[in-house]
Amino acid sequence: MTKRRTVILAAIAAVAISGTAMTPAMAQDADRVLRVVAPWEIGGLDPASSGHIFARLQVAETLVGADDGGLPVPSIAQAWTASSDGLVWRFEMRPGATFHDGSPLNAAAVAASLDRARTSAAGMLVNAPITAIAAQGGAVTITLSRPFTALPALLMHSSAIVLAPSAYDANGKVVRMIGSGPYRATLVEPPLRVELERFAGWWGPAPAIARASYLSVPRGETRSAMAEGGQADLVYIVPPEAVARLQRNARLDTRVQPIPRTRVLKLNAAAPYFDDVRVRQAVSLGIDREGIAEAILRSPAVRATQIFVPSLAEWHVPDLPPLDHAPARAKELLAAAGWRPGADGILAKDGKRFAVTLRTFSDRPEQPAMATAIQAQLREIGIDVSVAIMKNGEIPAGHHDGTLQMALFARNFSIVPDPIGTLLQDFGPQGGDWGAMNWSNAELIAALTALSGPIDAAGRAKARGDVARILQRELPIVPLAWFDYAVAINRRVDGASIDPFELSYRLSAMRWAR
């Protein structure tokens, strides 16, 4: 914004404050702007950092998309096949499709864009055993060094969005957001704002809504005020304390949908505290998940009974005995593991007090409250927990330098729609930054390895069940609560739906109701 414009706007605003009320927008549909508000800021144009915003706004697309069950569906690629040995995947392009700048959305451009995405250390494709990405006739071929069934899922990740050749500068840095989706960005103003216009050249059915805007509003109070005030049509992540109030508002359709993100307690399974599985089980038994879900998260149904949410139907095991709250049993387990209460009521073993630090961060405002609730609950079974509110980077940092003892965060098991990608990162032989620490299990690794290669349906079902059961028994990370994703939709808008994998806002399927 230029200084001059700022001054003019200031002058207009001074007039506005003299009491002029806004009149409801009565403009024609073509001029109506669908306003999307969400907490995420635009940190530059690098797909690894802000690709999710442009993918959700349908400015940029990925090679394949996902349906509500996480299964791959056509997107830029209209069809694909894998060779019989599983090593060469061939993705067919759509003839005649173009990017927003009019350049052809052909195999050469797509292969070049994906090849750039593959080199980013923070991207998703780096986790796939890709040896080459090439254009061959009307198709993009991806060659692997070993069979890897999760490849389509990894290609759905926002760090693998496909951009036009003109989006990059000579060094391969993204300098313009030029994708191929149903909306094109007419204004990108980091860190807060994007404006969109319908792209007439999109390969799919033309969207009903012609214009849209995105505003990043990091504060939850402000987002809920914007929903209630009618200044936003779609508000993502309504804070838990505002959900009930917004649900009573007749102008809003406030939906709460579970997503595959689980709030967990990461435990350092090295000596002297959590190396004994009985101690980890005792910690789990000492936590009152029901109380936390009700009092802090305001949603009793999110109490985690196991690591995977029920909506991950292929991974959730309905007959697994639920994680329980049983402080008396917890104390027995701790006693059996050799921990005896000291004079101050805190357990000790070999002269070592059971005093640990729990790291968490406040980007998710419920986490500090949960941490202090856990602090109080674990004190009841004789564990002295200090809570340290840090930034989220301190958790992977503490994992690497070994100083981490306990951490509370929300882990997304569907960073890509197939949880296998996240599970391989979290529970491999070395553990994972956001997963196990100083803990590994050969049986679990065998199951995960089997799941990432070719496997029949029965074998897959068994291996997935094994994963849930081993994690429930061994508790390298302790599930606390599942995750509700609350979205407030103004009733001006019809046809809204929530993507359980947070890949898209699905604006192109919405229309004005009135």
Instruction: Point out which residues bind another protein (CB under 8 A).
Output: 1-3, 5-7, 9-10, 12-14, 16-17, 21-22, 41, 43-44, 46, 48-49, 52, 121-122, 124, 126, 159, 173, 189-193, 213, 215-219, 221-222, 225-226, 228-231, 363, 390-394, 396-397, 399-400, 409, 411-412, 415, 425, 432-434
CB-facing half-sphere around the CA of 136: CA atoms within 13 A: 11
3 state SS of 9: helix
Q: How far is the CB of 264 from another protein (least distance, A)?
A: 13
| Closer residue to another protein in complex, CB, 209/227 | 227
| Closer residue to another protein in complex, CB, 35/464 | 35
- Alpha-carbon distance of 103 to 69, in angstroms, equals 33
355: amino acid identity, one letter:
A
| Closer residue to another protein in complex, CB, 19/205 | 19
- Alpha-carbon distance of 215 to 36, in angstroms, equals 6
Q: How many helices (H) and strands (E) does the chain have?
A: 14, 21
Q: How far is the CB of 178 from another protein (least distance, A)?
A: 18
226: amino acid identity, one letter:
M
Q: How far is the CB of 243 from another protein (least distance, A)?
A: 16
Contact 261, 428 (CB under 8 A): no
Phi first, then psi, for residue 239 (nearest 5°) are -65, 145
Q: How far is the CB of 130 from another protein (least distance, A)?
A: 16
3 state SS of 188: strand
| Closer residue to another protein in complex, CB, 89/315 | 315
- Alpha-carbon distance of 37 to 32, in angstroms, equals 16
| Closer residue to another protein in complex, CB, 28/171 | 171
The most distant pair of C-alpha atoms in the chain lies apart, rounded to whole Å, by 78
| Closer residue to another protein in complex, CB, 74/396 | 396
Q: How far is the CB of 387 from another protein (least distance, A)?
A: 16
| Closer residue to another protein in complex, CB, 85/363 | 363
Beta strands, E only, 72-206:
72-74, 79-82, 88-92, 130-136, 139-144, 183-189, 193-198
Contact 61, 117 (CB under 8 A): no
Q: How far is the CB of 108 from another protein (least distance, A)?
A: 26
Q: How far is the CB of 413 from another protein (least distance, A)?
A: 10
| Closer residue to another protein in complex, CB, 324/394 | 394
Gyration radius of the chain's alpha carbons? 25
Q: How far is the CB of 165 from another protein (least distance, A)?
A: 20
- Alpha-carbon distance of 346 to 339, in angstroms, equals 9
3 state SS of 397: helix
